[in-house]
Structure 1
Amino acid sequence: MKAAEQRVPLTDLYQGDHWAKAQALVPLASKAGFTPELWVASAGLGLRPVTDTAPAYAATFSLRHADSVAASPDDSARWWRCLQANDSKRSLASLSQRGHMLLVLSEAYANVMASDLDSLAQGANDTLLIGGAQSHPGITRVPSDATLRHALGGTLTSLNVRMAAAWLDRCSNARLTSPETRAAWNTWTAQVSKRETYNRLPLTDEAVIEFIRTNHAQHPGHSRTRMLRELRSQGLACEQKRFAHLYAVTVEKQ
């Protein structure tokens, strides 16, 4: 109980490449002429500024993740509405009244927040969505584009936030959605887009199990999804359902 009561700033609560790149958006936005505030959309906390504090938690809206808070998209949406129900001041619509808004959302989180995005779109002013799941009239959207990963580097997990950084590098006139910025973006993407092909090496069950054992011993906190990502990042192949079965046999039944 004592550990659960310990609160830390949100800037220190999250980890990984995606979070590091998200925090790096702040100086990039300042350089582009904005006065930025960084907020997080959290499956455990709702919409929060990173200056807030909270106890450590494990929650996500990614349905196949071990820490998923729901079994279906509808469940996730209801969970989000409950988190936000008693805090109208911390909504996308209220934040948009402060000025420009840059949203960086995965498909899973954008689906959960769809009603919030629709409300935001009704009064959005210079609002840009990187990633997301669908268009919302009134919000400029740049869908996630895997053909840019060759130029931006990193994993697909951090692609949206890397795209946001590249967009801010091209911002002009202290506006996110100016025609000049869009034109600069289109010119750049036309030059660097490259479709990726995968030639991964297939593994036997025994080799996959050995990888899982080694990875789990070195990183006991890694989820099954993260482990599979790391295997594939090494140029190795294993179908998701097969990996899940071997992971269960190797780790979950220990």
Structure 2
Amino acid sequence: MGDHTSTPGEQSVHLVVTCANRKRGSLSSTLRARELPPGQDTQARCHDWIRRLAAGVATTRAADLYAGEYWQVAKQLGQVVGPAASMWVCSAGYGLMPEDAHIAAYAATFAFGQKDSVASTTDDARRWWGTLAEWTGPAPGAPRTFTDLAASNPDAVVIAVMSDAYLRPCAYDLQRAAEKLADPDNFVIIGPGRRYPGLEDFIVPVSAAVQPAVGGSLLSLHARAARRVLEMARKQHKPFARPALAVLMKELRESAPPAVSRVPGARLSDHEVSAFIRAAMAEEVGPVSATKLLRRLRSSGQSCEQARFKGLFQEIMQEDASKDWS
């Protein structure tokens, strides 16, 4: 691990972000969750997965492995908070790890229904998370759960920027983590506003209403909203505690300009379609295809001919193949 110590008189802040689907580097077929033998129970599958990770070539820092719009924003959060911050990654492939842990490119997700899904139910996803935590991980000695992270420094602030797919398997771990902090107000989850039993008191909800204020696509919304409220807290000399961040998020939502609505079925330019494809690919938690992304585009009330969309999709895939997977 690197030096995550805070400056004198400054409270430590642990920032945890979920991993990104897009990764740089050469991806081994053995490190795709889809390649795990069928018919095993969750723990057996996870142990098999861990053996594959241990045998892999882990030469890339986690912070440098992930790519895409979301990750470009997420990795800036530590810079916003300042020298008191340490960055951590919540990964379905590796578990909880510091950003400077060395790992290999892999394909695994907590999202259901994907080729590289590690589980098909919430209970199995939680078993997978718990089994991963029993492994020493890519940075031996570092906390492997949110609970361990909080217990390692009860006076610190823990801020987790989480998507629904990762909140579900980590829910029990997150609840226990909040109990380890000296002040429960120092435990913050920035994420979706839906109900999560046992976690409602800790979530600072992000809604689509803040998108006009923070920019970017909906796929990077949580990270962008987190960055903005942390910037606001820093500028206004407010603590990074949940009550203060909740007020700032409310102010951000109320001050956001109304979203510009597009006429249903409006035809997009090539530039707009390419921007949509890149944003969707950056945050997609499973395999992507032109058909899947075009369906999402049309469901938002926007339009693009199938052949044109497929052509732009293939151009982007070819460009990224030469740039990210070389």
Query: Aligning the two structures, in what range does the TM-score lie when normalised by the shorter sequence?
Result: 0.7 to 0.9
Letter in 1 for 2:303: L
TM-score (norm 2): 0.58
Task: Give deviations 1:132-171, integer Å, cap 9, x for gaps.
Answer: 5526469531123111112212222211111110110121
SS in 2 for 1:170: helix
Q: Does 1:23 align with 2:85?
A: no
Report if the CA contact (8 A) 2:213-2:252 is conserved: no
- Select which of 131, 139, 162 maps to 2:224: 162
Report if the CA contact (8 A) 1:128-1:141 is conserved: yes
Task: Give the distance between the partners of 2:103 and 2:89, measured in 1 at CA.
Answer: 12
Task: Give the distance between the partners of 1:15 and 1:148, measured in 2 at CA.
Answer: 24
Task: Give deviations 1:188-212, integer Å, cap 9, x for gaps.
Answer: 3212164675655399xxxxxxx9x
Paired positions, count = 221
Root-mean-square deviation (CA, aligned residues, Å) is 3.5
Letter in 2 for 1:23: K
Task: Give the distance between the partners of 2:206 and 2:293, measured in 1 at CA.
Answer: 18
Report if the CA contact (8 A) 1:121-1:139 is conserved: no
Question: What is aligned with 1:105?
Answer: 162
Please, which runs of 5 or more residues in structure 1 have no aligned partner?
A: 204-210, 239-254
Question: What is aligned with 2:100?
Answer: 51
Report if the CA contact (8 A) 2:297-2:303 is conserved: yes
Please, which runs of 5 or more residues in structure 2 have no aligned partner?
A: 1-25, 29-55, 137-141, 268-272, 306-326
- Select which of 131, 137, 156 maps to 1:82: 131
Letter in 1 for 2:61: P
Q: Does 1:60 align with 2:60?
A: no
Letter in 2 for 1:170: M
| Cα distance change on mapping 1:60 and 1:225 into 2, 3 Å | farther
Q: Does 1:177 align with 2:237?
A: no
Aligned-pair CA distance for 1:25 = 0.6
Q: Does 1:96 align with 2:163?
A: no
Task: Give the distance between the partners of 2:134 and 2:80, measured in 1 at CA.
Answer: 32
SS in 2 for 1:38: strand
| Cα distance change on mapping 1:110 and 1:9 into 2, 3 Å | same
SS in 2 for 1:160: helix
Task: Give the distance between the partners of 2:122 and 2:212, measured in 1 at CA.
Answer: 31
Aligned-pair CA distance for 1:72 = 2.2
| Cα distance change on mapping 1:49 and 1:180 into 2, 3 Å | closer
Q: Does 1:146 align with 2:218?
A: no
Question: What is aligned with 1:128?
Answer: 188
TM-score (norm 1): 0.73
Identify which of structures 1 and 2 has the higher relative contact order when contacts are C-alpha pairs closer than 8 Å and 6+ apart: 2
Question: What is aligned with 1:14?
Answer: 66
Letter in 1 for 2:265: L
